[in-house]
Structure 1
Amino acid sequence: MTKILILECPTIDINFIFRELDRDGFNYTAKNIKLLNHFENGLSNYNPDIIFSGYSLLGNNGKEALKISRNWYSSTPLILIADHIEVENCIELIKKGVSDIILRQNISSLTQKISKALTKTATVNFNIFSNQEEKYLKEKAKYSSLTENSRDAIFLTLKDGPILEANPAACQIFKMTEEEIYKTGRLGLVDPNDPYLPVLIEERDLRGLAKGELNFKRKDGTSFPGEITTVVFKDVWGRDMTSITIKDLTEYKKDQQELAASNILMQESLNGLNKIMDSSLDLICSIDEEKRFVNVSAASKSLWGYEPHELIGEKYIHFIYIEDHKITNNTYEDITNGTPVTIFENRINHKDGSIVNMLWSVQWDDDEKLLYCTIKDISEKKKLKKAYKVERDRFLDMYNLSPACMGILKGPNHIHELTNPLYLKFINKKNVIGKSIIEVLPELKNQGFIKLLDDVYNTGIPFIANEMLVQLDFHGKGLLADRYMNFIYQPHRDAYGKIDGIFVFAIDVTEQLLSRMKIEESEKLYRQLIKELPVAAYSCDVDGKITLFNKAAAILWGREPQIGIDSWCGSWKALSTDGQEIPLEMYPIAVVLREGKTMTGKEIIIERENGDRRYVLPHAVPYIDQSGKVTGAVNLLTDITESKAIQKALEEHNMELSFQNLEKVKRAAELNIANKELAYQNCEKEKRAEELILTNIELLKTNKELDRFVYSISHDLRSPLTSVQGIVSIIEDESEDPATLKHIQMIKNSIERLDEFIKKILSYSQNNRTELDIETISVKKTILNIVDCLQNMKQANGIHFEIDVQELSPFSTDKLRFNTIVENLISNAIKYHKMSGTERFIKVKAIVNEQVLQLEIADNGIGIPLQHQEKIFDMFFRISSKSEGSGIGLYIVKDTIEKLEGSINILSQPKAGTTFKMNLKNFKIC
Structure 2
Amino acid sequence: MQPFPTSDFTSPDSSLNGQRAIQKIMDFSVDIICTIDKTGIFLKVGAASQKLLGYAPGELVGMQSNDLVYCDDKLVSQETFSQIRNGLEVTYFENRFCSKDGSIIPLVWSARWDEEEQIMYCVARDGREKKKVEQQLVEKQERLKKVYQMARVAGWEYDLLNKSTHWASDQLYEIYGISREEYPEFSQTVYLSLVHPDDRDRLQKDLSDFSVLNNYFTEHRMIRPNGQVIYVRQWIEVVFKDNIPALLKGVVQDITDSRLADQLLMANERRYRTLVQNGFDMIGILDVEGNYLYVAESVYRILGYEPKALVGKNVFDLVHANDVVRLAKSFSRLFTETYVDDLEPFRFLNAKGEWRWLESKAINMLHDSAVDGFVINSRDITDKKILQERFEKQVTEWQKRVNKATIQAQEQERAQLGKELHDNVNQVLTTVKLYTELCLDKHPDQQLLLEKATTYLSDCINEIRSISKRLSSPTLGEISLADSIKELVGALKLTNKLQISLTVNGDHAKISQEVHLGVYRIIQEHMTNILKHAEAARVNITISVCDFTLIVKIKDDGKGFDINAQRNGIGINNMQGRAESLNGKLTIDSKPTAGCTLTLAIPLEEVVEA
TM-score for the superposition, normalised by structure 1: 0.33
Q: Which has the higher contact order (CA 8 A, sep 6+)?
A: 2
Is the radius of gyration larger for structure 1 or structure 2?
2
